[in-house]
Chain A
Amino acid sequence: MAVQFTRIDLTAYPVDEGRRGQLHQGFCQSGPLDPYAFMLANALCGQQSGTAIEFIGALECEFQHPALISITGAAAEITLDGQLQLPWQSLRVERGQRLVVQPARLGSKHYLAIAGGFDFPTATGSACLVRREKQGGLHGDGTPLQVGDIIRSLPPGNGAIPGELPVWLMPDYQEAVNIGLVHGYQHQWLSSLQWQRLYSSEYTLTPQVDRMGYRLTGTAISLPEQALYSEAIALGAMQIPPDGQPIVMMADRQTLGGYPKAGTVARCDLNHFAQCIPGDKITFYQLDADEARARWLLKLSAIKRWLSH
């Protein structure tokens, strides 16, 4: 089975769960920016995991064989041979059918999954594409998908195709989001005044957004000047550089860094944060690690319940 990509407005590339056990060698973790949308895209294709396409901007492709697919992520207009389709659904496509996904907002992230998963070469145990490491993609050298590329898919497993996705499992992405922050790392460097400034201010996402990190602008957070050795950066870590404007570290973040960190974005809110585009408004609230973990586990068990029906 194969799919030909006929239009890529901005960028499209393969993603899976990312690298495992490679961070200590300097390989970034990678993986989807919106792990929730990625996970459900695969679930809708009857599988736990599989390489999918993450894309930003409009995407068009043609199916050379019948297939089962799904499209998840932020709001988009989806058509199959001109017929309007719903996102977050399992879709059966026929040979020769043309899929068009037109995102509602430029910069949001979208996922195309296929039963069996797309067949890309893997390196460091993952099909993820990391341009600066010259890894991943059709040629294994970090080149994203190009118009005209034909990507094969692997034979589907025997997982059952789940029923319709319940509304409460569909994320409601907003242009103004309230994001949970789990205190950690150098949290003691922030005085109570600085915490108050952080939690009572509205931040704006700047245009400096990529798979490594999202830079915010708003009330500056000032920290005492203290020496800090470079240390490991967790997914969602909020760095406070000398200008006081937070940077949240995302999937392709470098493994080590020397800026102090206030904490990390809670996993249960990471997808809402990841879907923000420059100009969107972000506020933060405090979430303790136990509560953040409990909320994420609740999400996972809700998905499990849906899948076992």
Chain B
Amino acid sequence: MQAFGPVRRVEIAGEDGLIFYAAGASLAELNQQIALLHQALSESRPDWLLELVPSYDSLMLVFDMTEVDYHRVYQYVATLPVSTATTHSSSTLHRLPVWYGAPEANDLALVSQATGIPEADIIQRHQAQTYTVYAVGFAPGFAYLGELDAGLATPRLANPRKAVPKGAVAIADRQTAVYPDVSPGGWHLLGLCPVALYTPGCDKPVLMQAGDQVEFYAISEAQYHAWPAEPEDN
């Protein structure tokens, strides 16, 4: 299938799915194209549309194959007007507190060893960035945030942990994330965040959406344990 506008490649993802890959020079640009295409399709919402799953540089679309086939879906998306606005005004900014160096989630020494950056500077640099949610997936509420300061980029652990604690703030390559729940994981851990990212059973069980903005700020051990009694520092 031919490329068009913001899409560099289209591939089949099953007889009831297509995956669109964005065109762009940087990851930020690729992700922005995906956000715009996602938004356009969410707004037009044709009847046969079942799922839209955005990720870093791709968007998978699942359709009702009793209604349409992939030729029709391709034609629909290729001719869909997509806004080219580069600002996403509707995105939410989340400010997440972190108890850096919490003993249950502390790979600061390992990261310092791998990067040659002192632990205090790692903590400072992790807070210095405003991150974009590039994708939500892997598990409910798990948000892939980018891009991490290039100096902090580390490979994954040689031996993944069987159980990363809930709320662990982690880094890998040029990404950072907060583990919404206990799970296996191979990322390096910097600390713990007391804010729930996934609350099963509630009306809005997942805190973050693709396209949202995230900032981290340091809190003390006492503030972590007292959370959410402390007034939020906004």
Contact = CB atoms under 8 A, between A and B. Distances in A.
Interface of A: 20-21, 23-27, 123-124, 132-135, 140-141, 182-187, 229-232, 234-237, 254-257, 263-264, 266-267, 289-290, 292-293, 296-297, 300
Interface in B190-205: 198, 200-201, 205
B15 interface: yes
Main secondary structure of the interface of A (DSSP, over half): mixed
A292 B144 contact: no
Contact of B53 (A232, A236, A292, A297): A232
Interface string B49-61: 0111111111110
A186 B135 CA distance: 20
Contacts, number: 139
Interface in B91-144: 135-142, 144
B144 A267 contact: no
Closest 6 CB pairs of A and B: A256-B137, A232-B60, A232-B53, A184-B12, A229-B56, A264-B14
A289 B70 contact: yes
Contact of B50 (A20, A26, A186, A297): A20
22 contacts: A24-B136, A25-B205, A26-B139, A133-B200, A134-B200, A140-B201, A182-B14, A184-B17, A185-B12, A230-B55, A230-B138, A231-B56, A231-B58, A236-B14, A255-B137, A256-B53, A256-B55, A264-B12, A267-B14, A267-B16, A289-B69, A290-B15
B19 interface: yes
B137 to A, nearest CB: 3
B66 interface: yes
Nearest to B205: A124
Nearest to B50: A20
B52 A24 contact: yes
A300 B16 CA distance: 15
Nearest to A289: B15
B65 interface: yes
